[in-house]
């Protein structure tokens, strides 16, 4: 049976439901240290599409690639709990402050090191930027074909992938040769829940840095169970041009940051009486709110 090498690009993002006054630094970058971190929602949709392909082709391998600080290993563990086979954390202070251009460059260089890849699947966009640029930029940097706005992978053959795309004005079916990059919409099926057996198996999965911080002697455990080792790559593990990394390689600059405070407005409570409803309709029409 055919097997595919699938990479899911995922990002740990600040939970935007908990944004406060300290959410931004003076230089215009996100102060991630003060915000709870979550698995980017549309990247979970992307993971589900990868898992469905693996359901159909069980010998396929799914690895999660993420770039971020050490705590971003949490989303690799989350992926393992849901069915992924492994993951790589791309982490280095040299990557700090990267915009989409610098991020896609670093991710692209890491993907080149990973060898033959059949499919790269990512969420359409991250909730901390809403740019929808990283997936397409990665495809361009790798010279790979791409399909965006994927809602469902319909068919996978030896040479092609057929998908359903959810566009602004309708639905489109598209077929693309392998290898390719896909970005997945939030309208795609939600990711499956964690598997209890996989939680028990992978709860000890760690990066080397995490183990060193925990003062654990991991040699014997990870020699016996190498699948519990989350790979950790720094800038020294991939071929890069330092001028294209981090803030230096990021042409996007934040000019100003403004805190917007939503003010509660006056409200009016009416009963279900016909007279009160009619009076409200007259008022709304006069104010051009409706009509």
Residue 67's SS3 state is: strand
Model confidence over 52-68: pLDDT tens digits?
Answer: 999 999 999 999 999 99
Q: What distance in Å separates the CA atoms of residue 183 and residue 111, rounded to the nearest whole number?
A: 16
Q: What is the DSSP letter of 162?
A: E
> To the nearest 10°, the Cα dihedral for 152, 148, 99, 240?
90
* DSSP strand pairing (119-123 vs 37-39): unpaired
Q: Model confidence at 168, in pLDDT bands (50, 70, 90)?
A: confident
pLDDT at 103: 92
pLDDT at 97: 84
Looking at the predicted structure, is the pLDDT value of residue 259 above 80? no
Model confidence over 104-142: pLDDT tens digits?
Answer: 999 999 999 999 999 999 999 988 878 889 999 999 999
Phi (first) and psi of residue 72, to 5 degrees: -65, -10
Looking at the predicted structure, is the pLDDT value of residue 29 above 80? no
For residue 176, what are the β-bridge partners? 161
Q: What distance in Å separates the CA atoms of residue 88 and residue 63, rounded to the nearest whole number?
A: 7
Q: What is the mean pLDDT of residues 2-8?
A: 95
Looking at the predicted structure, is the pLDDT value of residue 212 above 90? no
Looking at the predicted structure, is the pLDDT value of residue 154 above 70? yes
Mean of per-residue pLDDT scores for the chain: 88
**Which bin fits 149, alpha (ψ -120 to 50), beta or left (φ > 0)?**
left
pTM of the model: 0.81
Span of 33-47, 107-121, 158-172, 219-233 with lowest mean pLDDT: 219-233
């Amino acid at each position: 049976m055919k097997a595919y090498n699938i990479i899911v690009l995922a990002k740990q993002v600040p939970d935007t439901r908990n944004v406060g006054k300290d959410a931004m630094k003076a230089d215009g970058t996100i102060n991630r240290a003060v915000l709870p971190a979550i698995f980017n929602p549309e990247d979970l949709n992307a993971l589900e599409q990868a898992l469905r392909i693996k359901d159909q082709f069980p010998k396929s391998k799914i690895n999660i690639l993420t770039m971020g600080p050490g705590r971003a290993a949490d989303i690799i563990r989350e992926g393992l709990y849901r069915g992924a086979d492994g993951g790589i954390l791309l982490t280095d202070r040299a990557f700090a402050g990267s915009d989409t251009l610098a991020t896609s460059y670093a991710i692209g260089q890491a993907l080149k090191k990973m060898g033959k890849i059949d499919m790269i699947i990512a969420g359409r966009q991250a909730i901390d930027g809403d740019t929808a640029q990283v997936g397409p930029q990665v495809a361009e940097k790798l010279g790979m074909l791409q399909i965006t706005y994927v809602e469902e992978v319909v068919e996978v053959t030896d040479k092609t992938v057929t998908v359903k795309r959810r566009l602004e004005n309708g639905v489109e079916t598209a077929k693309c040769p392998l290898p390719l990059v896909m970005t997945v919409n939030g309208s795609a099926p939600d990711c499956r829940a964690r598997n209890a057996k996989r939680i028990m198996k992978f709860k000890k999965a760690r990066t080397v840095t995490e183990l060193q911080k925990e003062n654990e002697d991991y040699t014997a455990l990870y020699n016996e169970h190498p699948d519990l080792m989350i790979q950790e790559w720094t800038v020294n593990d991939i071929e890069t041009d330092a001028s294209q990394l981090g803030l230096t390689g990021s042409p996007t600059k934040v000019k100003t940051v403004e805190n917007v405070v939503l003010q509660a407005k006056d409200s009016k409570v009416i009963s279900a009486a016909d007279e009160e409803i009619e009076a409200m309709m007259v008022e709304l029409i006069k104010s051009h709110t409706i009509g």
